[in-house]
Structure 1
């Protein structure tokens, strides 16, 4: 190879490595989580996407789906850690992570380094699926394509996975997730805590409520608000009922008529509200991040707690880092595996 060509090749390699490091460098680093092992009473399981196709719906395996991105990775890691720490059979929990293809490899390395014993798989989500369907909302974070990935779980996950629990990336579980996994969905596609005291009309614009064609979508149902950050989903029934297409329909209506102000929540309300299997409120103590504009501190709802959810603008890791935490953020802190940079070098 001529010397000039060698120099060009070396330069290209150096540039490629530099770009790679800069891309991966914006991901936070975490301490390695301890290994969580099953007790003797736990059934033995072996899972992989291929084995799931051959042996579908093994009830002893708990499938949890979450999204992964650089912005919320710290919250996702804390959520995973909390699930494992409180699970009665942690080795029987499988995580299904959805990530942008461009970041999937880097995110995989972070998860594998933080949880060396974790059973997980990362699926690639194509943002182009929703880019032309997303309408701007009251908070920019709600407009990110990955927020809409939950609509496509039945297309992304192996067909042998019948049921999943979906968790947002800003929550911690403080109870055995198997209790949530075992709820009976009966005929329903989705199970979630409902909040029928909430002002349901506020989730849609006057243009929606003044149009009888739109409001007819709730005919035969008594719709109640539910938070989509915690859902138990029957993927087989979802596919059978073509619910992805139904959700996409309302996203198209929104683009034309502007019938709501929030992001991916209202389409779920339009399709499922009033037809949800009720889950105890303890499984989604939501709203701890305040509202979508100011993110002020909030207290817990009355009653027992199995899951704490910082939905809203305020995230516990940001408030803790800014030295302006809310009182309940101290409950999230023990699950934070983020490796803070030290002021002192070991050398």
Structure 2
């Protein structure tokens, strides 16, 4: 009897563990299938990189759906998902399964990012989410992605593309630029660095020989020439400033953004603002509601503290969160899968 009781207890523990593992991630519905149009013969392969983790998985899947929904040649898009090496194999398997359930035929690869590369270089910032190692993976795309990928479009996991992404992919980087992104030259550039930076006798000189005056740009949407990145050794240059921040002086407060500004600001191929209507998540502290910037919109970006899926779940959405909701693939109890017809 004791053996039977012990066996029953062991079985119960196993069932509980299995149930807990299954509950680690929510379930997602299968997205509609999107096919290439008649004019897609010979279309170039568009490589898109995004991070993949449990916290932002729901946003990532919505972002993928938005890209495919609005692309003229969706079958010509290859996705590269970057997952942290710190994720246990079971966790990674769950992420892979969730991706496959939502997009069974999606051309996608999952690449592991070695979080140890940045753990000793990350300093605390104004928001904990900005301090996660995966937030720094964009610095290492030239090492993570195969050499057969010469150019990549990096997209954050809290955005929607509402235009044909091929238009952004086709950005002309000219003869020398390694990176293209929308710039915001009306922003107070000095505010992205501390007084310790600006008072230092040498640090501000980093901006002296740029093509033009440095401007703020958001690193959630970037077109990157990976060959030029490697040739310019830009990963090492970004790491240098992270080491300065960690070991010498606190020169910034905003996670992975300031190193990009230190290395690239003033040497960025400017893209139309329509390709990053950012800040929809509010600031990094309160996450209050915000409106769109004036002008046309090709990409909506909920950068900042407030994420649309969290505000919708809490019953306190901002008006613009209603634009994100139709792309949400979360499977809800009793909901009908044909709700996706709105974006099919």
TM-score by length of 1: 0.89
- Structure 1 contact 285–308 (Cα < 8 Å) conserved: yes
Which residue of 254, 278, 283 corresponds with 1:262?
254
Once residues 254 and 19 of structure 1 are traced to their aligned partners in structure 2, the CA distance between those partners, rounded to angstroms, is 42
Alignment correspondent of 2:34: 36
Alignment correspondent of 2:281: 289
Residue segments in structure 1 that go unaligned for 5+ positions in a row? 1-6, 45-58
Task: Give the stretch that moved more between structures: 303-312 or 33-42.
Answer: 33-42
Alignment correspondent of 2:222: 231
The aligned runs of 1:142-181 (5 Å cut-off) are 142-181=130-169
Which residue of 67, 73, 88 corresponds with 1:89?
73
Once residues 319 and 244 of structure 1 are traced to their aligned partners in structure 2, the CA distance between those partners, rounded to angstroms, is 35
SS of the residue corresponding to residue 103 of structure 1 reads helix
SS of the residue corresponding to residue 40 of structure 2 reads coil
SS of the residue corresponding to residue 212 of structure 1 reads coil
Once residues 13 and 151 of structure 2 are traced to their aligned partners in structure 1, the CA distance between those partners, rounded to angstroms, is 44
Is 1:274 matched with 2:266? yes
Q: How big is each residue's C-alpha offset from its partner over 1:91-117, in whole Å with a ceiling of 9 and x where there is no partner?
A: 000000001246322211110111012
Once residues 10 and 157 of structure 1 are traced to their aligned partners in structure 2, the CA distance between those partners, rounded to angstroms, is 48
Alignment correspondent of 2:340: none
Once residues 154 and 47 of structure 2 are traced to their aligned partners in structure 1, the CA distance between those partners, rounded to angstroms, is 9
Q: 1:8 to 1:124 in 2, by over 3 A?
A: farther
Is 1:206 matched with 2:195? yes
Alignment correspondent of 2:298: 306
- Structure 1 contact 226–269 (Cα < 8 Å) conserved: yes
Q: 1:233 to 1:324 in 2, by over 3 A?
A: same
SS of the residue corresponding to residue 288 of structure 2 reads coil
Once residues 219 and 156 of structure 1 are traced to their aligned partners in structure 2, the CA distance between those partners, rounded to angstroms, is 31
User: How many angstroms does 1:249 deviate by?
Assistant: 0.6
Once residues 174 and 120 of structure 1 are traced to their aligned partners in structure 2, the CA distance between those partners, rounded to angstroms, is 21
Which residue of 206, 231, 234 corresponds with 1:217?
206
Residue segments in structure 2 that go unaligned for 5+ positions in a row? 336-344
